[in-house]
Structure 1
Amino acid sequence: MKKLIFIGVNGDLANHVIEELQTQSNIRLTLFLRPAKRGFKTNVDNVRIIEGDSQDHRALTRSIARHDIVFLNLTGHSGEASRNITTAMKETHVKRIIVICPIAVYETPLTPIVIPYKKIADTIRNSGLEYTIIQPTWLTCTGRLHYKVTGEVEFEKGMAISQIQLFPLINKIMEAHEKYMLKNLQASIPNSQ
């Protein structure tokens, strides 16, 4: 059984991913939540909830220890948190991190809104950890649709991808660790510009 800790539990995407992770019998899920999210409820009893702040290095280190995978849902304000997370992972010998990050982080010229995300992605890429960064083009709430995955240098011309269809990709990444290690993946619906 894989032990996964989810950091950045916010927004609809996080809710979709958590719902799917809860159904996986081979995953032991821990949610790392800000104290402000105290009322967060899960449908499955075997999900562990830890309250903490990703700016608090000690709390992160204690929480990340003894997990196999860190799943990080980024926001543009996660710069210090990403450094704390990667440092805590190294200190606790947790090597695998899967990150959701906006698509345009490696396109040039960078738009001002993307710059903080690129800094975070660079922190993770340069950390020495076994990372996979998923860069969805744009997320929608529609049902499952066919999607395409490309590498960071193959800028995809497609448009939105459904939040609920990201989980099969996340699951593939967790199952085929070696195939997706040290990769930046873009996900979108092809031919949908």
Structure 2
Amino acid sequence: MTNVLILGANGQIAKLVEKQLLDETDDHLTLFLRNAGRLKVTDPKRETVVEGDATNKQAIIKALDGIDIVYANLSGKNIEDEAKTVVGAIDRTTLQRLIWISTLGIYDEVPGEFGKWNHQQLDGGYLQTYAAAAKVIEGSDLDYTIIRPAWLSNKDIVSYETTQKGEPFKGTEVSRKSIADFVVKIINDPSKEIRHSVGVNQPNTDGDKPSWY
């Protein structure tokens, strides 16, 4: 059994990860979020809800007690501050393993017309703040995995391929279920993708923009 701390537990991908872990493992989940009332616990015997802010280092340190792996599904304009807080909190423990959700384009790794379109959509603060947060994670001594999803869909499909930092990003879109599956695979085998920044996309979705645009 693995003790997993999910930061930002009310997020759409986080909820999919929660369900898959409950269905497929015997892991215990600590669900950390700002407003605990927004979350409905599925299995009280295997889930603990903690209300707190991801910029509060002491709250995260307290939530880390007994945890084996942290999965951070955080977002917002203060994502860099959240990254600094999470890294600082984990550094106060013996824990090393962190899974961090980011976004495509933080290294200017998206090629062609789609790359230009992605910049048009995400420039003006979003890409810059997520890139800064990733830099914080990469500058730590943690056993991190940064996940850079393509544009996210709610399609009921698990189909994905990956690229590494330094490689051109592939595809334009990916389902949230696919990202959740990738997260669960790393939780199940924490030796995978250590200190890697991984792009994740659905195969054969190349184009100038995602299919719904």
Aligned residue for 2:92? 91
1:165 aligns with 178
* CA deviation profile, 1:3-33 (whole Å, cap 9, x unmatched): 1000012332222222212223331100011
Aligned residues of 2:54 and 2:60 also touching (Cα < 8 A): yes
Alpha-carbon contact 2:36-2:50 (below 8 Å) kept: no
Deviation at 1:156, TM superposition (A): 2.2
Q: Write the letter of the residue equivalent to 2:19.
A: E
Residue in 1 aligned with 2:39? 40
The farther-off stretch of 123-132 and 170-179 is: 170-179
Corresponding position of 2:103: 102
Once the two structures are TM-superposed, the CA of residue 145 in structure 1 deviates from its matched residue by: 4.3
Which deviates further from its counterpart, 141-150 or 95-104? Answer: 141-150
User: What is the DSSP-based 3-state SS (H/G/I as helix, E as strand, rest coil) of the residue aligned with 1:181?
Assistant: coil
Q: CA RMSD in A?
A: 1.8
C-alpha contact 1:65 1:94 (8 A) present in aligned 2: no
CA contact (8 A) 1:22 1:47 kept: no
Counterpart CA distance in 1 for 2:59 and 2:98 is 18
2:29 touches 2:48 (CA, 8 Å); kept in 1? yes
Q: 1:2·1:27 contact (CA, 8 Å) conserved in 2?
A: yes
**Please, what TM-score do these two structures have when normalized by structure 2?**
0.83
Q: Deviations over 1:121-154 (max 9, x none)?
A: 1111111100001111111001114311110221
Instruction: Provide the secondary structure at the position in 2 that maps to 1:174.
Output: helix
In the TM superposition, residue 56 of structure 1 has moved relative to its aligned partner by: 1.6
Where does residue 149 of structure 1 map in the other structure?
Answer: 162
| Residue 188 (structure 2) pairs with residue 175 (structure 1) | yes
The question of whether the paired residues in 1 share the 8 Å contact of 2:11 and 2:73 is answered with no
Change (3 A) 1:79 1:68: same
Report the counterpart of residue 73 of structure 1 in structure 2. 73
1:114 equivalenced with 2:127 (yes/no)? yes
Name the CA shift for 1:13/1:65 in 2 (closer, same or farther; >3 Å). same
Counterpart-to-counterpart distance in 2, 1:129 and 1:63: 18
Distance 1:133 1:5, change over 3 A: same
| Residue type of the alignment partner of 1:119 | A
- Residue 9 of structure 2 corresponds to 9
Q: Residues of 2 paired with 1:102 and 1:93: CA distance?
A: 28
What one-letter code is carried by the residue in structure 2 that aligns with 1:60?
Answer: I
Native 8 Å contact 2:163 2:170 kept in 1: no
- Report the count of equivalent residues: 192
Question: Which residue identity lines up with residue 66 of structure 2 in the other structure?
Answer: R
State the secondary structure of the residue aligned to 2:159.
Answer: coil
Unaligned residue ranges in structure 1 (runs of 5+): none
How far apart are 1:160 and its partner, in Å?
1.1
